[in-house]
């Protein structure tokens, strides 16, 4: 069983602290997804996680959110000696919007569930930022997949937690909206501690302060790549493109022989 303290301290909720994952293990059906896995999320940094499908990226993200069921062990500690519980906003791959609530009502859902007064003006501002101000009155069934993902992003930003866990937050967006929402996330989440799972090396290099590849079975973390400069970075920068090549190598691209296409 994972060792973590579930007792939040409401009197203290600092926004900048390192998070240390040590000796993490998750197994399903007797097979280890990963074991003895260590990872430190630096305070206020943006960490991106890449890896092939099914390797355990989402499982690792859910581990930080304390949402993994199964054979789980390891520890998570924070440098301020306070529990992580209650200080995390989690954006899953699925939008998880409640179908009977409008977009606006979904964005303020967290405050409603906690019995707090919803900040409607802030919600409207965030919906405008993600390009959904004209869709605030609609229900999820009336939205495209990309619109649902943007609504889920607004809801995540609405929570304003010091730690943000994001699982493929831009995957359903068209290229232009993807770039625009990456820029919004980079600005809105600056100063927070973020762990983002993505399949896109350029997205990871554009946003991440540290970029890790999770590979193998059981999965292990490769050495981090640390892009220079502040995000969002220019993906046409030659250094970024060189780092993309290194990430593709870590992902196994050099071992994948392309079949010759017959003429």
Q: Residue 10 pLDDT > 60, yes or no?
A: no
Q: What is the pLDDT of residue 14?
A: 58
What are the extents of the domains in the chain?
17-87+162-247, 97-160
Per residue in 186-198, pLDDT (tens digit) is 999 999 999 999 9
Q: Residue 256 pLDDT > 50, yes or no?
A: no
Query: Token pair for residue 48?
Result: 């991106």
Q: Give me the chain's average pLDDT, please.
A: 89
What is the mean pLDDT of the segment spanning 44-65?
Answer: 95
Q: What is the pLDDT of residue 8?
A: 40
Does this model's pTM top 0.85? My answer is yes
Q: What is the pLDDT of residue 177?
A: 87
Between 248 and 7, residue with greater pLDDT: 248
Q: Residue 255 pLDDT > 80, yes or no?
A: no
DSSP E strands: which ranges in the chain? 19-28, 31-41, 46-50, 71-78, 88-91, 163-167, 193-197, 210-215, 220-221
Q: What is the pLDDT of residue 97?
A: 95
Q: What is the pLDDT of residue 260?
A: 45
Is residue 160 classed as helix, strand or coil in its secondary structure?
coil
Q: Residue 261 pLDDT > 90, yes or no?
A: no
Per residue in 140-195, pLDDT (tens digit) is 999 998 899 999 999 999 999 999 999 999 888 888 889 988 998 999 999 999 99
**Residues 18 and 78: beta-carbon distance below 8 Å:** yes
Residue 82's alpha-carbon distances to 67, 224, 230, 249, in angstroms, are 19, 27, 29, 38
Q: What is the pLDDT of residue 158?
A: 94
What is the mean pLDDT of the segment spanning 19-45?
Answer: 95
| Of the listed ranges 16-20, 216-220, 239-243, 251-255, the one predicted with least confidence | 251-255
Per residue in 211-230, pLDDT (tens digit) is 999 999 999 999 999 999 99
Q: What is the pLDDT of residue 253?
A: 67
Q: What is the pLDDT of residue 2?
A: 52
| Sheet containing 31-41, strands listed edge to edge, beginning at the edge strand earlier in sequence | 31-41, 19-28, 71-78
Place 3 in a pLDDT band, splitting at 50, 70 and 90. Answer: low
What residue has token string 């996330």? 185
Helix, strand, coil % in the chain, rounded to nearest 5: 35, 20, 45
Query: Token pair for residue 211?
Result: 């970029």
Helical H runs in 117-173?
Answer: 120-129, 145-159
- CATH topology classification for 17-87+162-247: Rossmann fold (3.40.50)
Quote the CA–CA distance of 229 and 252 in Å, as a whole number: 27
Percent of the chain with pLDDT over 70: 90
**Residue among 183, 178, 163, 4 nearest 76 (CA):** 4
């Amino acid at each position: 069983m994972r060792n973590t303290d579930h007792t939040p301290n409401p009197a203290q909720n600092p926004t900048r602290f390192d998070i240390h994952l040590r000796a993490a293990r998750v197994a399903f059906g007797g097979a280890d997804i990963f074991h003895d896995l260590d990872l430190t999320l630096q305070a206020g940094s943006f960490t991106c996680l890449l890896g092939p499908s099914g390797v355990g990226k989402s499982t690792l993200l859910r581990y930080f959110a304390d949402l993994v069921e199964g054979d789980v062990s390891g520890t998570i500690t924070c440098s301020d000696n306070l529990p992580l519980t209650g200080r995390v906003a989690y954006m899953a791959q699925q939008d998880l919007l409640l179908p009977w609530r409008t977009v606006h009502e979904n964005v303020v859902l967290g405050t409603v569930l906690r019995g707090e007064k919803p900040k409607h003006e802030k919600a409207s501002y965030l919906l405008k930022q993600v390009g959904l101000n004209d869709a605030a009155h609609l229900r999820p069934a009336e939205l495209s997949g990309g619109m649902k993902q943007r609504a889920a992003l607004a809801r995540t930003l609405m929570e304003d937690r010091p730690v943000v866990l994001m699982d493929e937050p831009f995957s359903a967006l068209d290229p232009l909206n993807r770039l625009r929402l990456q820029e919004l996330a980079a600005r809105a989440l600056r100063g927070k501690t973020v762990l983002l799972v993505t399949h896109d090396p350029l997205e990871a290099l554009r946003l991440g302060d540290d970029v890790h590849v999770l590979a193998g079975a059981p999965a292990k973390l490769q050495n981090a790549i640390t892009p220079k400069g502040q995000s969002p970075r220019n993906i046409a920068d030659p250094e970024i493109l060189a780092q993309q090549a290194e990430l593709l190598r870590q992902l196994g691209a050099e071992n994948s022989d392309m079949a010759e296409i017959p003429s």
